[in-house]
C-alpha cells in the first residue's frame, strides 16, 4: 500500500476513533440528547428522551472500545507498517470497529425497548367534568362525588 494512502487512512481512523470516543463519553454521562446525527438512533430509542439516554448509556462502553481500536489502528497505520501488515491491520480494525459499535447499538436498542413509558400528568380516571375535580387515580372518590363522578 502506498505510504500516502496509509497515512491518510490512518488519520481517518484516528479522527473517527476520537469522534466515537467523544460520543461514548457523552452517552455514558447522559448528556447526549436525541438529535439527527449521533447516538443510537432507532424507533425504540427515539420514542422518548429517557429511552435515548438509557440506550446511549448502555452502548457507551462498546462504542468507546470501538473508538479506542480505531485510534490504535490509525496510529499503527500512520507508523507505516511494511507490506501486507498494513492491509491486514486496516481490515481487522475496520471489522472490529464496526462489530463493537454495532453490538453496542443493538444492546442500546434492547435497553431502550425495556424503558417504560413515563405516565402522563393524569394517569388515573377523570373524576369529573370540572377542573376543580381534576384527575386522580381510578377508584378514588373526590371531595364532592363518588369514584364514578356521579354525585
pLDDT for position 151: 47
Instruction: Please tell me the chain's helix, strand, coil percentages from 3-state DSSP, rounded to the nearest 5.
Output: 60, 5, 35
Residue 139 reports pLDDT greater than 70: no
Residue 100 has which C-alpha cell? 463493537
Q: Is 110 helix (H, G, I), strand (E, B) or coil?
A: helix
* Residues contacting residue 29 through CB under 8 Å, at least 6 positions apart: none
* Residues 85-102 pLDDT 10s: 888 888 999 999 999 999
* Residues 39-63 pLDDT 10s: 999 998 888 899 999 999 999 999 9
Q: Please report, for residues 119, 128, 132, 135, the alpha-carbon distance to residue 139 in angstroms, rounded to integers and kept in the order given.
A: 17, 12, 17, 11
Residue 125 reports pLDDT greater than 70: no
Residue 148 reports pLDDT greater than 70: no
Write b or e for each residue in 41-57: b if 16 or more Cβ atoms lie within 10 A of its Cβ, otherwise e: bbebbbebeebbbbbbb
How sure is the predictor about 126, in pLDDT bands with cuts at 50, 70 and 90?
low
Write b or e for each residue in 77-89: b if 16 or more Cβ atoms lie within 10 A of its Cβ, otherwise e: bbeebeeeebeeb
Residue 136 reports pLDDT greater than 70: no
* Residues 18-43 pLDDT 10s: 999 999 999 999 898 988 889 999 99
Percent of the chain's residues with pLDDT above 70: 77
Domain boundaries, the chain: 3-114, 121-151
Amino acid at each position: 500500500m502506498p505510504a500516502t494512502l496509509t497515512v491518510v487512512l490512518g488519520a481517518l481512523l484516528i479522527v473517527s476513533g476520537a469522534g466515537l470516543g467523544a460520543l461514548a463519553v457523552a452517552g455514558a454521562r447522559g448528556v447526549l440528547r436525541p438529535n439527527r446525527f449521533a447516538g443510537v438512533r432507532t424507533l425504540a430509542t427515539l420514542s422518548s428522551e429517557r429511552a435515548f439516554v438509557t440506550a446511549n448509556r448502555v452502548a457507551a462502553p462498546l462504542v468507546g472500545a470501538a473508538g479506542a481500536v480505531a485510534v490504535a489502528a490509525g496510529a499503527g497505520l500512520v507508523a507505516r507498517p511494511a507490506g501486507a501488515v498494513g492491509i491486514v491491520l486496516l481490515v481487522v480494525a475496520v471489522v472490529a470497529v464496526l462489530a463493537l459499535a454495532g453490538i453496542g447499538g443493538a444492546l442500546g436498542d434492547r435497553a431502550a425497548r425495556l424503558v417504560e413509558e413515563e405516565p402522563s400528568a393524569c394517569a388515573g380516571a377523570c373524576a369529573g367534568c370540572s377542573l376543580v375535580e381534576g384527575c386522580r387515580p381510578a377508584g378514588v372518590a373526590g371531595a364532592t362525588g363518588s369514584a364514578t363522578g356521579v354525585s
